[in-house]
Amino acid sequence: MRSDFRRDRLTWVVYVVAAWFAYLQASPGLVVVHLRDELGLSYSVAGLHVAAFAAGSTAAGVVSARLERWLGRGRLLWSAVAVLGVGVIGLTAGRIAEVTVGSVLVMGIGGGLVLVTVQAVLADHHGELRTVALAEENVAASIAYLALIGALSLAAALQLGWRVALLASLVVPLVAWWSSRRVAIDAPPTSRVVRGRLPAVFWIAAALLFCTTAAEWCVTAWGATFVTDAVGVSTDTAVALMAGYFGGVLIGRTLGSRLASRHSPARLLAIAIDSAPFTAVFGGCAAWLRPRCS
């Protein structure tokens, strides 16, 4: 790790908030399999939960810059945290699809604002070392994914239900806010806007991000449901088995954080683009072989 990269209190607080967001971001895909059993939802209605989170996140990205200018970065961050928390409470309290889908939409709005603000804070705070900070933030998010699997499995073992695993996480932002009351979270002065076309490398990166995010959301949203239907295990077991996928994500992101401290972002992006076809071929072969080996 580069010796000039410092993890101060602000950095750790942002890491914690990002991990909490990731914990809840992955939750709709893992709890929708429970909601299908409890509420008798069809695949289409179940899919609306994940779509609602994505729609809320998209809307948050559109309005985040204006909200930051209006509220300030610090207020925006903690307001977004509050909105995300309200959505979680609504999801756990909902007993009909309209309420649960609407609550996940609220979660997406709050979560999208949290993510945008967190990444802006890390990028501005660490300057040229922002690649390292953002990579470590993703490692924290991956740890939170596994924590979610553990919390859901523990809640199932204790017969507490999945709702307890989500509601218990609301303690995390409260502790983060209390411990950072004296930490300034401000945006830097607005620089002069330079107009012009975005370079080709931006569109390459955007296309790669779009494809990888789509694949990731497909797995996180439907992985547990697929395992339940294909293998015939219980809902709780299917959720626990998702630890394999999230463990792989943690390994990959940890490796990426180490590489980010030694190589330029452009080089890492080139490696990712070159390796993507091999990953797609491997996944396609696995999907083709599964029904033939069962």
**pLDDT tens-digit profile of 82-108?**
999 999 999 999 999 999 999 999 999
Those residues with Cβ within 8 angstroms of residue 119's Cβ, 6 or more apart along the chain or in another chain: 134, 137
Nearest to 143 by CA among 252, 276, 224, 225: 252
Those residues with Cβ within 8 angstroms of residue 21's Cβ, 6 or more apart along the chain or in another chain: 84, 111, 114, 115, 118, 141
Q: What radius of gyration do the chain's Cα atoms show?
A: 20
Is the pLDDT score of 189 beyond 80? Answer: no
Nearest to 27 by CA among 139, 164, 128: 164
Q: pLDDT tens digit string along 137-185? A: 888 888 898 899 899 899 989 989 899 999 999 999 999 999 888 888 8
**Structure confidence at residue 280 as a pLDDT band (50, 70, 90):** very low
Nearest to 11 by CA among 180, 237, 224, 231: 180
Mean of the pLDDT values across residues 197-212? 80
Higher pLDDT, 222 or 127: 127
Is the pLDDT score of 117 beyond 90? Answer: yes
Those residues with Cβ within 8 angstroms of residue 30's Cβ, 6 or more apart along the chain or in another chain: 148, 149, 152, 162, 220, 224, 239, 242
Give the pair of three-digit tokens for residue 102. 């609407």
Q: Are 261 and 133 in contact (CB under 8 A)?
A: no
Q: Are 33 and 239 in contact (CB under 8 A)?
A: yes
Q: Which amino acid is present at 210?
A: F
Q: 57-66, 187-196, 207-216, 264-273: lowest mean pLDDT where?
A: 264-273
